[in-house]
Each structure stands twice: as structure tokens, then as C-alpha cells.
Amino acid sequence: MTMTPQEPTPAPETENATQEPAQVERAGLANLFISRPIFAIVINLLVLIAGLAALNAVDVREMPDVDQPVLSVRTSYDGAVPETVDREVTQVLEEALSALDGVAYIESTSSSESSRITIDLSDGTDIDVAANEAREIVSETVRQLPDDIDDPTVTKSDTNGDAIIRLAVLGDVPLAELTQIAETTVYDRLSLIDGIAEITIRGDRSNEFRVLVNMPSLLSRGLTMFDVSDALEALRDDTPLGSLDTSAQSLSLRVGNEEVTPEIIGNLPINAYTRVNDVAFVQYGPEERDTSARVNGKTAIGIDITRQSVGNTLTISKDVRAAVAELAEDMPEGVELLITSDDGVFIESSINEVVNSIGLATLIVVFVIFAFLRSVRATLIPALTIPVALVGTIAAIWLTGFSVNTISLLALVLATGMVVDDAIVVIENIVRKRKEGMGPFAAAAAGTNEVFFAVISTTATLAAVFIPISFLPGQAGGVFSEFGFVLAFAVTLSSITALTLAPVLAAFLDPGKAEGALDEDAQDKRPSWAMRAFDMVMDRAIRAPLVVISIAGAMVIIALGSASTLSSSITPSEDRGFFLIFARGASDSTVDYVEEQVLEIEEILDPYRASGEVDAVQSIIGIGGGNALVIVRLADWNDRARSQQEIAAELSRSVSRVPGIQASVRSTNSLNIRGAGRGLTFAVTGNNIEAMTAAAEELVEAMSSDEMFLNPQLSDDAVSAEMEVVIDDQMAGAFGLTKSEITELISAMVQGIVPVSVFIDDTEVDVNLMSGGAPIDDPTDIESIYLQLDNGEFVPLSAAAKLEMTVSQSTVSRQAGALAVSVQANLGEGVSLGEAASRMQELATDMLPDDMGIVLTGEAASLSSSQHAMYMVFAVAGIVVLLVLAAQFESLTSAVVIMLTVPFGIAAALMTIKLSGGSLNYYSQIGLVMLIGVMAKNGILIVEFANQLREAGQDIDTAIRNALRLRIRPVMMTMISTVFGGLPLVLTSGAGAEARIAVGWVIVGGLGFATVFTLFLTPVFYRLLAGYGGLPGGAKKRLHLERGAFFGAAKGAASGNT
């Protein structure tokens, strides 16, 4: 009889698959690393080495590269009023530049003699390419502009943006010498630094030759101002004379003038009978001032440094400090070069504080692990994942082109408490297997295999939260993408370490054998009361699901009710170590008048300097006409008891009472948003500038009576006084005079002319020809101006023209091409920017006519766009996590069970923000998005194990109870390590503390409450919904059954044939 070998029956296969499906499928990976420990160790060492190598190469900056690329186009048009500048320059350039590729938004301001166009480019636009294209467009458009304008300049920055660094040159030498040092030595050295867009000199007064003409004497000799101007041309020393060629060389010929002095100018002949000093007085000295600057009450020259829109503030700051150190050694005796404010100091201090938080968080997390495991060996294993994950993440930051900044470092602080979670889950399960009697190697393999899917699921879930939102546009996308990437990569590395290095170390160190870890009596006695209490509470909760859900729902309603009153802002108020006081006088205010008012502000600041709270005060008078800026630098954060906000709030009330000017305190923020720190800024848009101005003034009056606003005002004076020259064309023609001859003479008499410049010690010095009589500031003064006719006779200008006092728009602004009147208002105490914007829009809706609208600008515009982006963030994060969970569990029901707990956790976090006095801003929203992944992570640990137990044959009720009992320890350990790891953020102080606190409260408070929701709601929802999703692994079981049936039929057929 012939015997045929029998195939194994399918029943054992099916039974085995039913009992331990997970371990059969996943046994290979854990066995691989346990059997090849050097391989596992080398993988983790390579990750660590890569991170250490990247530390020196990675870019360090304050924030992710979220600055919107900005171009500015500036044009000067001497003598032109705002309407003329807008009509003949701004509109022409703005229309041409609208064809620029990548334009997102254009705004412009036309003021007296100046045009400024600011172009916001779309995200991802190459600013260098855009700048070159803009210059080409401008060069092609210049021919359409007036002939007497200065060539427009294109810069890669917002020319209306705040300076990132301010310097001052001061000393006991003449102001002209300080000016020369600032404009030559200092300027030349700073201009070599990469990333600087513009260096602006403030309060400078260069020397000049002033030729003051005695007009009666000049006219009595039958001469004009232009005759004197022609005589001064003789001073020009660059007149080309050709070259002298010989057989050996070619020599250029030039006029060799001796060094110019007032005497030389006075002896210049005007004609055969008259010299300059016969009709004019010549003097050499500082030019008339139009700006002034002081530091701590001493006259100084201010130097403002503005970065390019894509420049790195921290790098520029370090380079500027190095340059200042070099220059200080070469300064003349008695001259100082000081840094009066530097954003880089705040950035550097803030980054150092975050790094310190990472170190403290690491120590806290390790202590928490030890408190739970009570074993040095068991603690060592998850503790080793911290340096591997955190340092390895630096390599990922460098490879992706991101930077080490406040946001990425905040992610690393939060990751410190999370990167140990996977290792904790693995080690805790290995120790449990060891207590069941397995050997150290078998326990390491079995324990790792059992939680393999849970570790992968939690990692994938956290990645799923952040990776999709990195594609969001604008600043929100830039901030969230770096935070999400860093956190996701750190957690991914931690899971790799947990599944490779942790089981290897557990096999060799045998944490289950450590003292206390295998003391079953001690283990059973210590937690028995807690476990019994937990079992009793959870038993009642599972038996009364509606009660649990109702209580949770009531708490959510209360939380959401409180959260509905949360204030909203872009960033929390930051103590950056300095603030600004902006003082605005009338548009026709003189520098001397504004300076008197600024002196009062400085006197108000004197007690603060005496107390040590204020370190330095720099005043710049004459910015944009009758405006002034006072930079108040505070003492180091550790050297003062009060915050910047407290000091600024107190000063705001004092400076607002200074008469003759409108003074307000402003602060900047980390995101470098245009208009930051100016409260609520917006513009009324329409078609009629006069009607818009009137409507804006009515709106400002309504806002003044509302306590939500402080000092609302138009951003610029609506109108300014001016004298208009009205030429009688008929009379001018009768005298044979042209309009250009008349306007040129008036210009020469009013502001003078510079016919020539000379060089003294390689410094260019202007020769300024002007009338030496009384200034022309009254319409009757026209009688003192005479025009020379072709026959040599003189007639008064009043015969062909007259001066009239009139008013005109002080500025003409446009938003996206539409005429705009800008308005600004400080916020009342306790009022958020979002609340103020909403209230203003309510007022505007009731007051403005249909042909006018409101455009939010500055921080208010950024807040509005970011709020829409955040709704998208939460929607995308929720949907993606749900889909990822469904794919991981192969069950939509299990995914829904986990996601149903998330809203309760979010509500708890919102309540925490409210109780801590925080606001909804970028940082707190980062914490909320992170909370979605962390809550899902806790739910996965319970649901995954319950599914495994059901797969092994237990019913739903028994499976969820056992899963809770077996997973309560790792859930509590991971939650407490994450919460305690965030404590350094809540307890922080110093530079940038506000941002860290905003994130920390969401994690510490929100996650603490959220875990309670997770523990109670997850089993309740699982017990209610799990039955609708079928048995876990049902498709796989059916596959095994069908395979078994097929092989059984084949076996029967083979036996029959035999």
C-alpha cells in the first residue's frame, strides 16, 4: 500500500490565526534586531552622528522663513504735491508693475515729493527674479514719467518696515564730523554685510557752502540768481579736456583746482565788474537741518538698518556686532559707536531659553519614567531614545532646508515628552511578559511584537496630523509646516528606536529582572488599591454610558461657552526688550517744534532710566515731516521686575497727554508683520478722496466714544496747508516769460539751487545758492521777487503770477489700486485685536455709504487671513487622522471611536487657555492641532489592544475592560511624561516666554484634562459602537477559511484518486 504525505489541515492554521494573528505576522522584525544587536545599535548611532554633524551646518533664525517676499519702489519728485505725485508717478508705475509675475497685492502712498509703492509677492516667488523683472518694468516706464524726477529705486524689502538694528554715532566733536564718520566709515563697512536692504542715516548734517545773495544789490547790478549760478560753475573740477597722446603714453587732461574755501568762492567773477562777494555772503558750515537725533539726551547721528524681506535677522545682527567692534577701535578720540536697539539680542536670548527648556524637559521626563518603572535599567532604555530622536531630528531639519528657530525648538521641547512614549510602551510590555515567566530574549521579542502595530499607528497618526497642513499657504502654512515636520520626524525616529534599539537593550539589560521590577508581591500590593478603584469606576462608567456622555457633554458646553469669549491675536504680546513711541505732529510742523514735544517725552522717560528699567533712549525727529520716533531699550529681562507690557502700558497713558502731538506706544512681534504693534489699522476705500476722508473722520469720532478703542485717528493728516503759484498766462506771454522760467526762479528763491558740488578731503560738498533775504512764507512776499525780461529790465513776479494759500491732501494712499484713507487705533485694556476689528466693522457697516468699503491692513489683515487658514487646519487634520486610523485598523468603527474623544479634549484645552488668561494665537493653535494627534495616540493604545483581545476570542465588554486594565499604566506614563515635559514651557521666563507659555498651557492643561476624557469615553464609545464594525481581522479570517477549504477539497480529491 502506497502512503501519500498529508498536507496540514487548515483548522490549526485558522485557530492559530485567530489566537495570535498579530504576533505571527510581525515576529520577523523584532527577532531580526534581537538576533543582530550590533546592527540595531549601528542604525541608531548613525542617526545620532548625522544629527551632531548637522548642528554646525543648520541655519539658525528667529522664526521659520514665513516672511512674505516684498518689493518696494521709491521715487522722488522735487516740488510736487501729493496729488501730482499720485497722478503723474504712482498711478503710472503701479499700473505697469501690476503685470509683474507673482504679484499678490499692491499698496501705495504718495506724499509731498515722494512716491512709495509696496508690492506683496505670492508665496514661493523668487524675490531676486521678481526684483530684476520689476527693475526692467520701471526702466521701460520711466519715459512716461516727468523728466525732473529722480530715477525710481527698487528694493527687496518693505521700505516702510521697522529697522531691525539701530546704531548711533555720538561724541564731543562737531555734528558735521559725526555725519562724515557715519556716512563714510560706518556706512561703507555696514554695506558689505549680506541681507541688509537699506541703511538710513538720521539726524545727519553735512557741511556745505552757502552763498547767500543780497537780492537788492544783485538786482541793482542788473543780475539774476542764474547769473551767480553760472559763475559758480567755474568751481567744477571734472570738466573733460580730452587727452594728450605721445608715442609712449596717453595722458588725460583735467582742470586742477586748489581746495575750495569761502574766499575762493567769493572771488569768482560774475562779469567784468562784479564778483560773487559783491552781491553775496559766502559761508561754510552745517546744512540746515531737516532731521535730528539724540541718544540719552546727547546729540547723535542715528543709523537704521533694514533687512531684506528674506534676510536672516540673527545672522545680520551677529555681522553688525562684529563690524561695530571693528569700527569702535578706529573711532576718533571722544567718538562712540553704539548699538541702541537690536532684534538679534531678543532672538538669541529666546533661542537660548528654549534650549534650556529642552534640557529641563529631558530631566523631568527621565525622572517621571523612573518614578513609574522604579528601575535604573528600565529607565535607561527609553531615556536613550531622547538624544537619538532629538539630535537626529536636527539632521532632518538640515536636509529639508528648514532652520533651527523658535518654532522648531518648541516642537523639540514638546517632543521630549513624546519621544519616550513608544519606548515606554515597548519596555512596559516586555517587563509584563518577563513577569509572566518568559526569558529576557523571548520577552523582548514577544513584548515588542504585541505592541508593534500600536507603535506604528501612533506614529503614523501624529505624522498624519501635521504633514497635510504643511501645504497650507501663507504664514500659517510656514509656521505649521516646520513645527509639524520637526515633531513628526522626532516621533518617527523615536518609534524606530523603540522598535530597534529598545528590544535589544531590554534583551541584554533585562529590565524585568531589576530590583523592584519583578517583585511581584510588591508590584501586586502597591497598585492593588488603585487598580481596584479604577476597575470599580470604569465598571460603573461602562454600565452607564449615557451618564458618562452626558457629563462629558455638559463639560464641553461649559468649556465652549467660556472659550467663546477668548480673545484672538496673531501672537501673544511679547517682551522683546524694547518698544517704540511714535509721535506725530501736524504735517506742516517744523523740526524745532516737534523736538520741543519730544523733549517732554524724554523727560517722562528720565525716571525710568534712573530706576534702571530703561537702559537707553534714542530719539529721531523729522521722520516723514512732522513725525518723531523714540526707541526705548529696556534693561535685560533678568534685571527688571516689570515686563515690557507693564512699562509700556504705564507710559502710554503719560505720553498721550503730551500737547501738540499725538503720541502712542508700539511694539513689534516675531512674525515681522507690516504695521505690527500699531493696534487696529484699516483703510476706508472708495472713489472720492474728500468724501472718504469725511466718512473716515465720522467713523473715527464714533470709535472715540467706544471704550474698545483708544486714540483712534487718521494715520495721516487729511489735508495740509500750502501756497499755490497761479500764473497769468496772458500777462506772462506779454512779458515774453515762459512758465518754466517763472517756476525755476520761484524754486531758486524758496529752496535755493545747487549749481555745483566740490570735493574736500574726498568728501563731496554742495555749494548751495539761496536768497539771503527773509523767507517767503506769505502771499505778499511775491512782491520781493523780480523777473528779468529779454531787454534787461526787471518786473515784479506779481505782474505775471500770484501766491494763494490753499489746502491739499497731505498724502494719497491706494489699496489694490483703489483710493484709501488709512485709520489706526490703539486697543482698550483687555480688548483683543479680533474683537476690535469686529466692532469696527459693525460701526463701518452702519455708517459708510454703499460706494465705500473697509480694508483691514497690518496685523488685522494677517489675523483675518490666519483665522480662515486655521479652520482649514483643523478640518484637514481631523479628516486625515480619521482616514489614517481607518486604514491602520482596517475598521472605520475603531477610527470613529478614537476620533469621538478629540472634540472633548479640544474643549478642555480651550477652557485651559481661558483660565490661564491666554488667547487664540499661532502658538496656542499649534498646541491645539498637536492635541488632536496626542489624544488619538492615547486612544490607539486602548483600542488596538482591545481589538487584539477580540481577535483572540474575547467579547467586546471583556476585551475593552481587559485592555483598559492592561494599558492604563503605559497610557498614564506617556500622558504624564508629555504633560510634565511641557512644564518648562509653562514655568518659563525671559525672552520669548509668552510664546512658550501659550503652547505649554495647551499641552499641560489641555492634555491633562483630555486624558481623563480619553480614559472614560474611549471604552464607552467602544462598547457602544464596536459591534457595528464586525470582528477585527474578519477579512483575514475569511481568507484563511477559504484557503483551508480549498486545500481540504484538494486533499480529498487526491485521496480519492489514490
CATH number for the domain that contains residue 545:
1.20.1640.10
Half-sphere exposure of residue 944, counting CA atoms within 13 Å on the CB side?
25
Could you read off the pLDDT of 139-149 as tens digits, one per residue? 888 888 887 78
Residue that is written with C-alpha cell 484518486 in the block: 1057
Same structural domain for residues 556 and 602? Answer: no
CB 679 within 8 A of CB 840: no
Q: Residue 136 domain-assigned? A: yes
Calculate the alpha carbon distances from 55 to 189, 383, 494 in Å.
30, 21, 19
Per-residue pLDDT at 88 exceeds 80: yes
Rank 71-75, 237-241, 546-550 by mean pLDDT and report only the highest: 71-75
| Cβ atoms within 10 Å of 31's Cβ, excluding its own | 16
| Total domain count, the chain | 4
Residue that is written with C-alpha cell 523740526 in the block: 591
CATH value at residue 634: 3.30.70.1430
- Please classify residue 161 by burial: count the beta carbons closer than 10 Å to its beta carbon, then call 0-12 exposed, 13-18 middle and 19+ buried: buried
Could you read off the pLDDT of 141-197 as tens digits, one per residue? 888 888 778 888 888 765 455 788 888 888 888 888 888 888 888 888 888 888 888
d(CA 75, CA 85): 9
CB 770 within 8 A of CB 791: no
Rounded percentage of the chain residues whose pLDDT exceeds 70 = 81
pLDDT for 1049 equals: 67
| Cβ atoms within 10 Å of 1025's Cβ, excluding its own | 16
Cell numbers representing residue 248 in the block:
609712449
Calculate the alpha carbon distances from 121 to 125, 136, 184, 668 in Å.
6, 17, 34, 22
Could you read off the pLDDT of 1029-1038 as tens digits, one per residue? 666 656 666 6
pLDDT for 158 equals: 52
d(CA 239, CA 123): 50
Same structural domain for residues 969 and 1005? Answer: yes
At 846 the three-state DSSP class reads helix
Same structural domain for residues 1021 and 943? Answer: yes
Cell numbers representing residue 71 in the block:
518689493
User: Which candidate, 644, 627, 649, places its Cα nearest to that of 582?
Assistant: 627
pLDDT band at 781 (very low <50, low <70, confident <90, very high): low
Same structural domain for residues 783 and 662? Answer: no
Q: Which residues of 505-519 are buried (b: 16+ CB within 10 A; e: fewer)?
A: bbbebbbbebeebbe
CA 68, distance to chain mean position in Å, is 9
**Listed residues 809, 840, 862: the one ending a domain:** 809
Query: What's the DSSP call for residue 941?
Result: H
d(CA 811, CA 863): 27
Q: Residue 971 domain-assigned? A: yes
pLDDT for 175 equals: 82
Same structural domain for residues 380 and 511? Answer: yes
Same structural domain for residues 469 and 555? Answer: yes
Per-residue pLDDT at 522 exceeds 60: no
CATH value at residue 768: 3.30.2090.10
Calculate the alpha carbon distances from 613 to 274, 279, 646, 650, 926 in Å.
64, 57, 11, 13, 33
Could you read off the pLDDT of 447-501 as tens digits, one per residue? 888 778 777 777 777 777 766 666 666 666 677 777 778 888 888 888 888 888 8
pLDDT band at 13 (very low <50, low <70, confident <90, very high): very low
Mean residue pLDDT of the chain comes to 76
User: Which candidate, 67, 160, 107, places its Cα nearest to that of 856?
Assistant: 107
d(CA 1037, CA 951): 10
pTM of the predicted model as reported, rounded to 2 decimal places: 0.69
Same structural domain for residues 81 and 151? Answer: yes
**Listed residues 758, 786, 809: the one ending a domain:** 809
- φ, ψ dihedrals at 901, nearest 5°: -80, -20
At 275 the three-state DSSP class reads strand
Could you read off the pLDDT of 327-386 as tens digits, one per residue? 888 888 888 888 888 888 888 887 777 777 778 888 887 887 777 767 777 778 878 878
Q: Residue 393 domain-assigned? A: yes
d(CA 457, CA 938): 11
pLDDT for 24 equals: 40
pLDDT band at 19 (very low <50, low <70, confident <90, very high): very low
CB 975 within 8 A of CB 1007: yes
Same structural domain for residues 988 and 916? Answer: yes
Q: Which residues of 128-150 are buried (b: 16+ CB within 10 A; e: fewer)?
A: eebbebbeebbeebbeebeeebe
Could you read off the pLDDT of 252-289 as tens digits, one per residue? 555 555 678 888 888 888 888 888 888 888 888 877 77
pLDDT for 271 equals: 86
Per-residue pLDDT at 125 exceeds 70: yes
pLDDT for 17 equals: 36
CB 393 within 8 A of CB 54: no
Could you read off the pLDDT of 376-418 as tens digits, one per residue? 777 788 788 788 888 888 888 888 878 887 778 777 877 777 7
Q: Helix 37-55 and helix 21-35: axis angle, to 10°?
A: 70
Q: Which amino acid is at 477?
A: G
Rounded to 5 degrees, what angle do the CA atoms 357, 358, 360 make?
Answer: 65
**Listed residues 809, 824, 856: the one ending a domain:** 809
Q: Residue 629 domain-assigned? A: yes
Per-residue pLDDT at 315 exceeds 80: yes
d(CA 864, CA 100): 26
CA 460, distance to chain mean position in Å, is 29
Q: Residue 144 domain-assigned? A: yes
Same structural domain for residues 102 and 56? Answer: no
Q: Residue 814 domain-assigned? A: no
pLDDT for 980 equals: 77
- Nearest-Å Rg of the Cα atoms of the chain is 38
Q: Max CA-CA distance within the chain?
A: 149
User: Which candidate, 388, 603, 436, 423, places its Cα nearest to that of 505?
Assistant: 423
CA 342, distance to chain mean position in Å, is 16
pLDDT for 868 equals: 67
Paired residues of 618 in beta bridges: 295, 631
Q: Residue 703 domain-assigned? A: no
CB 463 within 8 A of CB 370: no
Q: Residue 1027 domain-assigned? A: yes
Same structural domain for residues 634 and 763? Answer: no
Note down the domain range covering 743: 207-240+259-286+720-809
User: Which candidate, 21, 33, 26, 122, places its Cα nearest to that of 69?
Assistant: 122
Same structural domain for residues 19 and 85? Answer: no
Same structural domain for residues 22 and 130? Answer: no
pLDDT for 473 equals: 60
pLDDT for 4 equals: 38
